């Protein structure tokens, strides 16, 4: 008795994982609800503002965004995303270097809040390639 009633609802964690759009081949990381929320918000912001020029694991128009937290401090990233031209103009060494490296193509300025940019960065981090093959593939394109 009562056995048939067992095929009930999926656990919350599963529905959450699919909302966030985790790639099942690369991700099996447990996230807190807050992190999952940031990733979902960052995903939407990324698709709306950045995806035409960036992917996390591949060079598109701009560099692959993997490993950003290892390349630049967060405050640099916040200033860059808000107004990259200003940073290039200010003579920031790294800014000038990537600007030249990517054919002096100007990245647009974004009226995003720090919180929104952090969500994008959290999203990008969550999508980083985890296999060596994927990683070296993407890095190989960056000269």
Give the binding site for ligand HEC (CB under 6 A).
Answer: 49-50, 52-54, 61-63, 65, 68, 71-72, 77, 80-81, 84, 98-99, 102, 105-108, 110, 120
- To ligand HEC, the closest distance from the beta carbon of 91 in angstroms equals 14
Question: What is the distance in angstroms between the CA of the first residue and the CA of the last residue of the chain?
Answer: 66
Between CA 105 and CA 52 the distance in angstroms is 14
Closest CB to ligand HEC among residues 22, 50: 50
**How many CA within 13 A on the CB side of residue 98?**
19
Closest CB to ligand HEC among residues 39, 77: 77
- To ligand HEC, the closest distance from the beta carbon of 1 in angstroms equals 56
Closest CB to ligand HEC among residues 44, 61: 61
- To ligand HEC, the closest distance from the beta carbon of 86 in angstroms equals 11
Query: Is the distance from CB of 49 to CB of 110 less than 8 angstroms?
Result: yes
Both structure tokens of 77: 């990233």
Query: Is the distance from CB of 122 to CB of 35 less than 8 angstroms?
Result: yes
Both structure tokens of 93: 């060494």
- To ligand HEC, the closest distance from the beta carbon of 17 in angstroms equals 24
Closest CB to ligand HEC among residues 18, 52: 52
Based on C-alpha coordinates, what's the Rg of the chain? Answer: 18
């Amino acid at each position: 008795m009562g056995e048939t009633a067992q095929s009930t609802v999926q656990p919350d964690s599963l529905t959450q994982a699919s909302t966030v759009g985790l790639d099942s081949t690369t991700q099996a990381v447990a996230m807190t609800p807050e992190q999952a929320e940031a990733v979902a918000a960052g995903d939407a912001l990324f698709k709306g503002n950045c995806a035409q020029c960036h992917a996390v694991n591949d060079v598109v128009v701009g560099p692959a965004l993997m490993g950003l937290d290892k390349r630049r401090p967060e405050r640099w990233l916040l200033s860059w995303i808000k107004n990259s031209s200003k940073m290039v103009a200010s003579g920031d060494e790294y800014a000038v270097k990537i600007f030249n490296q990517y054919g002096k193509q100007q990245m647009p300025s974004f009226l995003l809040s720090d919180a929104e940019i952090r969500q994008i960065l959290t999203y990008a981090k969550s999508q980083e390639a985890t296999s060596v093959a994927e990683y070296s593939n993407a890095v190989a394109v960056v000269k």
